């Protein structure tokens, strides 16, 4: 009888230890996954919070009598390091999917304080307000509005506004 009790206790005790071990490993793994993901989330949040671009008119080129012009903006990084290769562009509301509409300098990174040139090509010399939205990898955007002042023969582009904004939840 005494031996039965000892054997039973030994089996149950071992099973309990094993169960605690299994639960501990599972909890530690789950905690590891969540901790790593939380770190990624915090990094992404911090990067979005500390990113800031400023746009300004740099140059334009056109030929008198031709109804199109190219306009170049200098985009200054006033925040954290960004990756221009991951940026996308929305010109006059439409996503730019073809080459030759918006040109950007071939840089992998834009360090704090650095400037990159972005050129919009073949903009019509009309009276409409044109817009370029530069969407960065953080989801935040730089929007630049400008218009052509003058006519086809004589005129120049005028920067109207440059705004920085980030996506909101809900």
Partner 1 sequence: MASSVVSELVLFIASLLIAGMVAGGLYMVTQDLSDGITLRGKDLAYNLRVNFAIINDPENIPVSGGAYIFYVRNIGKVPFTFNNNSVVVFIDGNLIPPANLTFTNLDNPGSDKLQPYDIGEIQVVTLLSTGYHKIVVVLADGKQKSLIFKIG
Give residues in contact with partner 1 (CB under 8 A).
Answer: 1, 3-5, 7-8, 11-12, 14-16, 18-19, 22-23, 25-27, 29-34, 36-38, 40-41, 44, 86, 88, 90, 92-95, 97, 131, 133, 135, 137-139, 141, 143, 167-170
Instruction: Compute the least distance from the CB of residue 72 to partner 1, in Å.
Output: 20
CA distance 125 to 122: 9
Q: Provide the edge-to-edge strand list for the sheet that holds 53-62.
A: 53-62, 68-77, 115-124, 102-104
Q: For the chain, how far is it from start to end, CA to CA, in angstroms? A: 67
Closest to partner 1 by CB, 156 or 165? 165
Residue 14 or 122 with smaller CB distance to partner 1:
14
CA pair distance 138, 158, nearest whole angstrom: 29
**Residue number with CB closer to partner 1 (106 or 169):** 169
Query: Do 82 and 137 touch, CB atoms closer than 8 A?
Result: yes
Residue 138: CB minimum distance to partner 1, A: 7
Q: In angstroms, give the least distance from the CB of 136 to partner 1.
A: 9
Q: How far apart are CA 142 and CA 165, in angstroms?
A: 7
Q: How far is the CB of 167 from partner 1 (least distance, A)?
A: 4
């Amino acid at each position: 009888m005494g031996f039965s009790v000892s054997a039973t206790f030994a089996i149950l005790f071992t099973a309990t230890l094993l169960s605690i071990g299994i639960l501990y490993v599972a909890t530690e793994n789950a905690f590891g996954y969540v901790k790593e993901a939380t770190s990624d989330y915090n990094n992404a949040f911090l990067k979005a919070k500390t990113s800031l671009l400023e746009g300004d008119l740099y140059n334009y080129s056109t030929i008198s009598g031709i109804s199109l012009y190219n306009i170049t903006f200098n985009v200054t990084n006033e925040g954290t390091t960004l990756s221009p290769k991951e940026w996308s562009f929305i010109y006059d509301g439409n996503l730019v999917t073809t080459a030759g509409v918006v040109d950007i300098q071939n840089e992998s990174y834009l360090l704090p304080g650095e400037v990159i040139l972005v050129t919009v090509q073949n903009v019509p010399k009309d009276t409409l307000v044109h817009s370029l939205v530069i969407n960065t990898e953080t989801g935040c955007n730089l929007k630049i509005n400008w218009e052509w002042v003058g006519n086809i023969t004589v005129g120049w582009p005028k920067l109207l506004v440059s705004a920085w904004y980030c996506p909101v939840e809900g």
